[in-house]
Amino acid sequence: MKKAKHRFDYVSLFLKILVNISVLITVLILSFIIIYIFVKGIPYIKPSLFALEYNTDNVSLFPAMVNTFTITIMSLLIAAPLGIASAIYLVEYANKNSKIVDVIRITTETLAGIPSIVYGLFGYLFFLVYIGWEFSIIAGALTLSIMILPLLIRTTEEALLSVPDEYRQGSYGLGAGKLRTVFKIVLPSAISGILAGIILSIGRIVGETAALIFTAGTVAQIPDSIFSSGRTLAVHMYALNNEGLYINESYATAVVLLIVVILINALSTLIAKKLKKG
């Protein structure tokens, strides 16, 4: 027994060291990427980059920033309610042994692994060719909402499953119905996990290029309507790099994009804490 215990202690110590090394490597890589982008991009951030209109002299990223926020909000408004509602149905209402539920879960996992360029090609063929829209913000937002839907369903489902059944039973014991239990007990308890899925979705939307080039286009201006074309920050950065004339400005755009993602994550974390306390 003592030998087995010593062996278990050695294995535990080895795994602990391995995990700590992995965490350290991850932090170092992340720190290197952030520092590298900041060092390369901050010297080239200037007021002209935030001009209202883009031209070849100022290479303004302001229109791309507006388009990024617009597409992000539109995509979440479409995908988040559908994803959360689907997860609620799968966890709270659907028969656990149903074949349909198994098919839905397999389909969701399959869709989550499809490359974004395939979603872009689908969006192009369906929204632009079949429906007849031109390159537009709405086509890009709908394509991205389809792309992030599996992620939202899976993360919300895991968050709901993590809520102890005792919470539900206690609510039923006090006379609450199914719907009231879901919205008053289960969802508030799972809010952190749900917001984590939303944060991951925002990260995927903000960093997406392939799907948007096929659907939203690359026009460097603030669109007149949701049916007008426009590029996001990620597409803007790709376009500048692809031209080969504005490499320094593309690094500056990367800095702004990184700051935007950090601010969104910080804001989402703050909202999650306030909702959990409430």
CATH among 1.10.3720.10, 1.20.1340.10, 3.40.30.10, 3.40.50.620 for 48-277: 1.10.3720.10
What residue spans of 42-130 are helical by DSSP H?
62-88, 99-112, 116-123
- pLDDT, tens digit (0-9, with 9 covering 90-100), for 16-74: 889 999 999 999 998 998 899 999 888 888 888 888 888 878 888 889 889 999 999 99
Q: What is the pLDDT of residue 259?
A: 87
- Which pLDDT band holds residue 277 (cuts at 50, 70, 90)? low
Report pLDDT digits (tens) over 241-271: 887 778 888 888 889 888 888 887 787 777 7
Q: Where are the domains of the chain?
A: 2-44, 48-277
The Cα–Cα gap between 86 and 78 comes to 13
pLDDT digits (tens, 9 = 90+) for 144-182: 999 999 999 999 988 888 888 888 888 888 787 788 888
How much is the pLDDT for 29?
94
pLDDT of 2 over the 60 cut = no
- Residue 139 has a pLDDT of 93
- Token pair for residue 155? 């993360």
Using a pLDDT cut of 70, give the percent of the chain over it.
95
pLDDT at 188 over 90: no
Average pLDDT, the chain: 85
User: What is the reported pLDDT for 109?
Assistant: 84
Determine the pLDDT at residue 28. 95
Residues 6+ apart with CB under 8 A from 212: 71, 120, 140, 143, 144, 231, 232, 234, 235
Structure confidence at residue 3 (pLDDT): 54
pLDDT at 5 over 60: no
What Cα–Cα distance (Å) separates residue 206 from each residue in 81, 104, 132, 200, 266?
A: 19, 27, 26, 10, 15
d(CA 183, CA 92): 11
pLDDT band at 6 (very low <50, low <70, confident <90, very high): low
